[in-house]
Amino acid sequence: MVTRYYRELLNFLSRAVNNRETAADLAQESYARVLAMQQDGVTIAEPRALLYRTARNLMIDQHRRDTVRGVSAEPDHHADDFEVLDTLAAPAALEPETAAMSAQGVQAMLAVIGELPLRCREAFILHKFDGLSQAAVAQQMGISVTMVERHIKHAMQACRRCAESPPHE
């Protein structure tokens, strides 16, 4: 399993996080978790799918931790910088009102995505959330790349309108 999917998973993660070292760490942790499941006797029907799902979850967790800590996308490896982080105030995202507004915004965005036409929603999710190229989405859905582009453009416009609309009180 390791040799079969490692390079593919590493490339996917590298594109997603824009940092080869972080991608390698995430890939290694993904493999470790899946192998631990196998050693615990869990039967894994689709190891590739489980690897990708595990990697995506780890990537989301990493992003959340970085956001809460206020860490930039490019890690700075100077020890003094980490000491400075301890003296900073809590990020605004931890304030209850901000967190509630953020949760409402996420729910509104998910509702907008859920209301998209089925094929449009499918193309959008495959491209934006699953990380497939437009050509790969077109192949998987059996449609042209031009149609995929139209679906993604329509979905992005709907998401932009949602993001620009004032919150409902």
Q: Are residues 101 and 62 in the same domain?
A: no
d(C-alpha 150, C-alpha 124), whole Å: 10
Q: Are residues 8 and 65 in the same domain?
A: yes
Q: What is the pLDDT of residue 83?
A: 45
Longest distance between any two alpha carbons in the chain, whole Å: 54
Q: Is residue 87 a part of any domain in this protein?
A: no
Q: Are residues 67 and 114 in the same domain?
A: no
Q: Is the pTM of this model over 0.85?
A: no
pLDDT tens, per residue, the chain with 169 residues? 556 778 888 888 888 888 888 888 888 888 888 888 888 777 777 888 888 888 888 888 887 887 777 755 444 444 444 444 344 344 444 445 555 556 677 778 888 888 999 999 999 988 888 888 999 999 999 999 999 999 999 999 998 888 887 655 4
Q: Are residues 8 and 52 in the same domain?
A: yes
Q: What is the pLDDT of residue 29?
A: 87
Q: Which domain holds residue 27?
A: 2-72
Number of structural domains in the chain: 2
Q: Are residues 98 and 130 in the same domain?
A: yes
Tokens at 124, concatenated: 């959008």
Q: Is residue 145 a part of any domain in this protein?
A: yes
Q: What is the pLDDT of residue 135?
A: 93
Q: Are residues 68 and 6 in the same domain?
A: yes
Residue in 81, 61, 58 with CA at minimum distance from that of residue 71: 81
Q: What is the pLDDT of residue 72?
A: 53
